[in-house]
Amino acid sequence: MYLVEIIFLALALAMDAFAVAVCVGLTVPQFKLRNALIVGLYFGLFQASMPLVGYFIGGVFAERVAAFDHWIAFVILTVLGAKMIHGSFKKDDGLPREASFAFVAMLPLALATSIDALAAGVSFAFLRVNIIPAVVIIGSVTFALSMLGVKIGGAVGQKFKSKAEFAGGVVLILLAVRSLVVQL
């Protein structure tokens, strides 16, 4: 696999993380580099580690997870999307509704957006891809796009508030549905 192909794969794998990062940014009242770094690090590290895991454990584990990985992503993204939609209808009490950047909030998001990278890692093993540069590229691209997503989401969220939060919830649910449709 050539460098250009790995970069395009990294971009494709990072799209879910980017979309979720935009949704996270929608709920942040003010852009903070620290928050963007947290999102970027979680998503980038998970997106890099999943192909690495897939590479080393090969087809055995991937076959078992492939049967239900789309359901895991579907449930997590649907619940988060529904929560955002519900939150968009709450009357504004003057207090900002800000996304949590704690481990318990970021872990399911990072996991849900990186499950497809596990299968990429399995294919890397069969294609004899040099895994270290591949995971560095995948992680770096996801890190950068996730930080950008938080920034974009914050800019849009401040202008459109509850409408943007509603739209972000819809996007998460559409990503959840897509994870099922792609598997059918």
Q: Are 44 and 143 a contacting pair, CB within 8 Å?
A: yes
Cα(104)–Cα(101) distance, rounded to whole angstroms?
8
Q: What is the average pLDDT value for the chain, to the nearest integer? A: 82
Structure confidence at residue 171 as a pLDDT band (50, 70, 90): confident
pLDDT band at 66 (very low <50, low <70, confident <90, very high): low
Q: How confident is the model at residue 93 (pLDDT cuts 50, 70, 90)?
A: very low
Q: Is the pLDDT of residue 74 over 50?
A: yes
Least confident of 45-49, 114-118, 162-166: 162-166
Number of domains in the chain: 1
Q: What's the average model confidence in pLDDT over 120-126? A: 78
pLDDT at position 154? 85
CA distance 94 to 97: 9
Residue 159's domain comprises 3-91+98-181
46 pLDDT exceeds 70?
yes
